[in-house]
A and B are shown apart, each in its own frame.
Chain A
């Protein structure tokens, strides 16, 4: 078992000051990722341990950041020297007002399942086998063609002039499967994942059964007619649209730098009254929540949209100090990149409708279950596009045929303001976003 606490970040911090930094921040992360790939059989297991060091220094208002995975004494010394020499060469950043001044944790409970830090590949085999059996049980002609499961342990330590070292631990576990069903009418495919902090909370068999039976239901899917439809978005699709379009727009950095469509919209209505979205930064039940953010600032629960009204952007300490306010605990970074504001976990609040009610109330529509390419959309202009890979055609309140293909196009802000017709009551938790299903009125779908 690897020793996780093996470098002295206080010493590196002092070294940066000795070499001429006016202030410094040391970020150290250790992760252990165990993963297993499978199809009908267990294929390949991997164990990867990595340790990464981030050194951020300021000389006055001149900043530099150096990330290294060479943690030999020589590698660390070189990284500190490099950081100082770049900061000396850099022009002043007029927006710089120092490092995060509030370090600490909300609570440390519930973010990590200690068991994950030391399990071996054989323990993932059980998860994989259970998923495979689930898929196979749905029908004899349905097979898992690609799958993976993983268990990750992650530890972060931070020190800066205002406090620390502070440390936090998180774990995650994940199972994904993509299945193919065949019949004389053709082939159908479907894939989905389930994620949790702890392996024991995964439901691999249920996932397999669901993915297998869905794959079968999509046999013979074709592109829809080029037309305007009512769209039911499955929770994972609604979550993905919100993640792609809203996450960059609510970043205080995008707002301050003039590239968010939400500039000047605080306390303005931007969505239907039914829509409320909360960034759940500190509650461990939400994946993405952490006890402190990547600058050591405690995370929080932050209301983004309340009954259709935009209430807050998300801040790291850099953007917060520019506005003379507190960080919302939303700094995200890798060891070698500076922090930037990002949502911890956007939780879209549920409505009251069941998915059956949504289908029944749709005269001519499409129930969308998977898409590709929505990340190609433009969060600055609000132009949202996604290509359908799995959907059902609905006519007169009933599912009548599978769909594969067609491009959904909508102005995201028009969608929030006037297209949302019903919000579902069943919330699905995805990574960093959770959402109910939603029924949208009159959306253009390009097809055949």
Chain B
């Protein structure tokens, strides 16, 4: 789709001429390729191209939004009119935080553009990975996906002009192991904000074989005994825990509306004092968010410092309601959606413990692994969260014991982080080109991670 920064300026000017006190026009172009190999053959190769415009206005202190993927001037101007009409239907008065004029541009650090790699090469890698996973004895089914994404965004508003682009690549693999009467599935993926070089520099066949071997082993593993127990979690799970148990509850729109139990808790102890939690738009290994979709720069936000709640994640509408600054977390899935408060890359800062030291100290409990974990969910109002772990291990007498599978963890936001007893020296943050975080029907890419940690007590589901 043809695109010109001038079009965005025209939309902003037109909205202002219709009486909007503030207008923000966004252009978004999204390209995605997904190569799927299934049981040794290519199942599909699909390509998605999306581009369009979103416009948000403040009219009489009310917010309105509209979007279109048409490029003709008439439709673009009618989108502006729709946004003004939508604002007129709103009742709630909104104040957007003031800011100095923002101008910026960021281009991704890519050596080999994945979109220039011939389809044959992508198909070859997907098939070879898939066949390696399928080649392990006892594996009945195997799916491999290779995904590449380019996401280009421009925001022009009454007080900003920013442009940025992210390129993301990755491979995911699922193996299903089976024997008489029982089946087990294991899934894992690796993604990186990088060019094709990330695909070239990894051993994907080994990656797939490893998943198959673990799936086979999990087939015979028991589910854990139910109840509360001490656990050591790996960085992937710590990321999930923070994202679900804390990140969502710190989102300023939820806090302002009273939907988060972290409301009115600034300055209070919400975690043990060895816990510091950060949301960083440019964390290494995460999904790059140099700006948000309101055009704010996204920097490093400390949410919890040494166990004390220090701040919330905010956009321009929620910051004034909470009396805090804008943290650059107003993100939109795409041009069809208005920005709302979202996390970027949430992680726990490393501490002083080694991994083995934590397992020894735990003595008895579970070592929870994020590999094969399905994700998580939280009810921020009720304060309850849950997430699943991949095949994990008993800890017996300070050592790793036998495997357990089907592990699901549940806890309360205000309790779990207070029972963190040890924080590791290691740190790993990851993102994914195959998924993201959903809120209000919008999916955005995020990253999360941390070091290994030990938690005194958490509810483990089981039979």
Tell me the A357-378 residues at the B interface (CB within 8 Å): 370, 372-373, 375-376, 378
Task: Give the residue name and chain of the A residue nearest to B375 (CB).
Answer: A376
Q: Which of B111-140 contact A (CB under 8 A)?
A: 118-120, 123, 127, 140
With a cutoff of 8 Å between Cβ atoms, the chain B residues found around residue A389 in the complex are 379, 382, 384
B67 contacts chain A at the CB level, 8 A cutoff? yes
Neighbour of A376 across the interface among B183, B379, B383, B408, CB < 8 A? B408
Q: How many residues of B contact A (CB 8 A)?
A: 88
Whole-angstrom CA separation of A177 from B336 in the bound complex: 23
Partner of A89, one of B41, B44, B123: B123
Whether, in the assembled complex, B178 has its beta carbon less than 8 Å from a beta carbon of chain A, the answer is: yes
Produce 1/0 per residue, B373-398, CB < 8 A to A. Answer: 01111110111111110000000000
The reply to whether A226 and B227 form a contact with Cβ atoms under 8 Å apart is yes
CA distance A447 to B123 in the complex (A): 47
With A91-B127, A409-B408 already in contact, the answer to whether A376 and B386 are too (CB < 8 A) is yes
Contact of A446 among B69, B383, B461 (CB under 8 A): B461
The answer to whether A67 touches B46 (Cβ under 8 A) is yes
Q: Which of A68-76, A101-109, A429-437 contacts B (4 or more CB under 8 A)?
A: A68-76
B140 adjacent to A258 (CB under 8 Å):
yes
Assess the B71–A383 pair: CB atoms within 8 A. no
Supposing A226-B226, A387-B384 touch, asked if A86 and B257 sit within 8 A by C-beta, the answer is no
- The A191-224 residues at the B interface (CB cut-off 8 A) are 191, 218, 221, 223
Distance in Å from the Cβ of B326 to the closest Cβ of chain A? 18
Within the complex, the shortest CB–CB distance from A92 to chain B, in Å, comes to: 8
- Bound together, the chains give a CA A432 to CA B64 distance in angstroms of 31
* Cα(A201)–Cα(B68), bound, Å: 29
Question: Which residues of A have CB within 8 Å of B180?
Answer: none
| Contact in complex: B49, A79 (CB < 8 Å) | yes
A-B contact count (CB 8 A): 282
Interface locus among A20-28, A48-56, A232-240, A303-311: A48-56
A72 touches B48 (CB 8 A): no
Interface residues of B in 31-69 (CB under 8 A from A): 32, 34, 38-39, 41-52, 63-69
B223 within 8 A of A: yes
B161 contacts the other chain (CB 8 A): no
Given contacts A36-B89, A90-B123, A146-B259, contact A381 B67 (CB under 8 A): no
The answer on a CB contact under 8 Å between B51 and A41 is no
- Taken together as a complex, chains A and B put the C-alpha atoms of A411 and B406 apart, in Å, by 11
Chain A, residues 56-99, CB within 8 Å of chain B (1/0): the string is 00000001111111111001001100110110011111110000
| Distance in Å: Cβ of B246 to nearest Cβ of chain A | 16
In the complex, the answer to whether A444 meets B463 with C-beta atoms within 8 Å is yes
Q: Which residues of B contact A75 (CB under 8 A)?
A: 1, 49
Cβ–Cβ contact B47 & A45, under 8 A: no
Kindly state the separation between the CA atoms of A372 and B378 in the bound complex, as whole angstroms.
7
Chain A residues within an 8 Å CB radius of B94: 43
How far apart are A393's CB and chain B's nearest CB, in angstroms?
16
Partner of B119, one of A69, A71, A90, A124: A90
Counting CB contacts under 8 A, is B155 at the interface?
no
Pick the residue among B41, B46, B66, B184 that contacts A47 (CB under 8 A): B66
Q: Within 8 Å CB of A92, what residues of B? A: 41
Interface centre among A180, A387, A390 (most CB of B within 10 A): A387
Distance in angstroms between the alpha carbons of A79 and B49 in the assembled complex: 9
* A residues less than 8 Å from B375 (CB atoms): 376
Q: B91 contacts which of A42, A145, A261 (Cβ < 8 Å)?
A: A42
Complex Cα spacing A242 to B141, Å: 23
Q: Is the CB of B381 within 8 A of A446?
A: no
**What are 25 sample pairs from A and B whose C-beta atoms fall under 8 A apart?**
A42-B92, A47-B66, A63-B45, A64-B46, A86-B45, A91-B42, A95-B41, A124-B89, A146-B254, A187-B381, A257-B39, A258-B141, A373-B376, A373-B408, A376-B377, A378-B184, A378-B185, A381-B183, A385-B388, A385-B406, A388-B384, A407-B461, A409-B226, A446-B226, A446-B462
